[in-house]
Amino acid sequence: ASLQQTLAQDTSKKSCYEFLNMTSRSFAAVIQELDEELRDSVCLFYLVLRGLDTIEDDMSLDLNRKVELLRSFDQIIYQKGWTFNENGPNEKDRELLVHFDVIINEFLRLKPEYQKVIANITKLMGDGMADYVSGEHRENTAIATVKDFDLYCHYVAGLVGYGLSDLFAASGLESKEIADDKVLSNAMGLFLQKTNIIRDYREDLDDGRQFWPKEIWGKYVEKFSDLTKPEYKDKAQACLSDMVLNVLDDVPQVLTYLSKLKNQSVFNFCAIPQVMAISTLALVFNNLDIYHRNLKIRKGQAVKLIMDSKDMDHVVSIFRQYVFEISRKNEATDPNFMKISMAIGRIEQWI
């Protein structure tokens, strides 16, 4: 390649990392610490999915157009020069779509086997998201049952787990077996997504979106927004513990997945978000503030968790600490008290 081409490529790769830093709250740092063989492919995987999610989240987009974009996004990533021209909310994630040609350029420079993994997951996720786009009447949410909830979270997060495991295996940094156990890869995504959905109750409600399955919240209130009302305080507390109970199911599988990893940079990349999630789960459990504002673990706590997540022993002890905190906050008057105790018992067999 000519010097000029090399310089242009340098600039476009740099732009991709700028988009990564701009759009990700937590993944930017861990992605940049990955071994060189995986760094760019995981970065581009992130950016492609961030673009797809921005389309899914854009409530101003015409519905037919949205579905068309979601279902064809796996082809868009092969179209040199494609940019997003529709009007929309001018937020930082939209910037990425407006300049998507830069991401496509870098995507096309990845090894073909990495491109294939990313395109395959993009197709499955885009179709899944399209199936769940329910239109203007958001109160008639498509997420009715716990089964619907699991399927939605599979599409938007479990599939990310599949794709990342495929990339790890393709890089040779991890064994092929890590990509074979789909249940474990799926659980890695579900644990992050479900914790995010619990924590973001208020933010999502204010955006007119609801992800909690009606099969759970419907046991406690008639309207999803009633969970914010003081007169339903006890119902809201029980509903929250029911949601946390649902997420605790995934913990043993998360720990099993992490225990199979061999490469240090892959381990850090995988473990840090999971450790953040368990600490977030302990923070939100029995904490009615989630119905009013966005709770976040303290910066200093996050920094400490990141530094401590270097090996399986440390990760297990962090999980033990937060599971213990959940156990300590579990109240005998809570209708889910017994079930939560049992879920914790199953986790304790692991730790």
Catalogue the active-site residues.
152, 199, 209, 269
- Residue 152 or 322: the one with the smaller Cβ distance to ligand PS7 is 152
Q: Does 196 bind ligand PS7 (CB under 6 A)?
A: yes
Contact criterion met (CB below 8 Å) for 295 and 283: yes
Per-residue b or e along 8-36, where b marks 16 or more CB atoms closer than 10 Å to that residue's CB: eeeebbeebbebbeebbeebbebbeebee
> Least distance in Å: CB of 341 to ligand PS7?
27
Query: Binding pattern to Mn ion, positions 183-222, x when CB under 5 A?
Result: -------------x---x----------------------
Q: Does 165 bind ligand PS7 (CB under 6 A)?
A: yes
288: burial class by Cβ within 10 Å (0-12, 13-18, 19+)? middle
Residues 6+ apart with CB under 8 A from 231: none
Per-residue b or e along 56-77, where b marks 16 or more CB atoms closer than 10 Å to that residue's CB: bbbeebeeeebbebbeebbebb
- Residue 161 or 213: the one with the smaller Cβ distance to ligand PS7 is 161
Which residue from 188, 236, 247, 261 is in contact with ligand PS7, where contact means CB under 6 A? Answer: 188
> Least distance in Å: CB of 203 to Mn ion?
7
> Least distance in Å: CB of 150 to Mn ion?
16
- Residue 174 or 242: the one with the smaller Cβ distance to ligand PS7 is 174
Which structure tokens are listed for 215?
A: 């099969």
Contact criterion met (CB below 8 Å) for 189 and 163: no
Distance from chain centroid for Cα 268: 16
Distance from chain centroid for Cα 35: 22
Contact criterion met (CB below 8 Å) for 104 and 80: yes
| Count of residues interacting with ligand PS7 (CB under 6 A) | 23
Point out which span in 44-52, 59-67, 242-250, 309-317 binds ligand PS7 (CB under 6 A): 44-52
Give CA separation, 80 vs 93, 101, 291, in Å: 20, 6, 44
Give the SS3 label for residue 11: helix
Contact criterion met (CB below 8 Å) for 48 and 107: yes
Q: Does 45 bind ligand PS7 (CB under 6 A)?
A: yes
Which residue from 156, 238, 239, 347 is in contact with ligand PS7, where contact means CB under 6 A? Answer: 156
- Residue 184 or 238: the one with the smaller Cβ distance to ligand PS7 is 184
Which residue from 88, 126, 189, 252 is in contact with ligand PS7, where contact means CB under 6 A? Answer: 189
Selection from Mn ion, ligand PS7, none that 55 binds (CB < 5 to 8 A by kind) is: none
The letter for the amino acid at 188 is: M
Which structure tokens are listed for 236?
A: 């809201």
Indicate the DSSP class of residue 155: I
> Least distance in Å: CB of 114 to Mn ion?
24
Which residue from 12, 17, 26, 53 is in contact with Mn ion, where contact means CB under 5 A? Answer: 53
> Least distance in Å: CB of 259 to ligand PS7?
13
The footprint of ligand PS7 (CB under 6 A) covers 25, 27, 42, 45-46, 49-50, 53, 156-157, 160-161, 164-165, 185, 188-189, 192-193, 196, 200, 270, 273
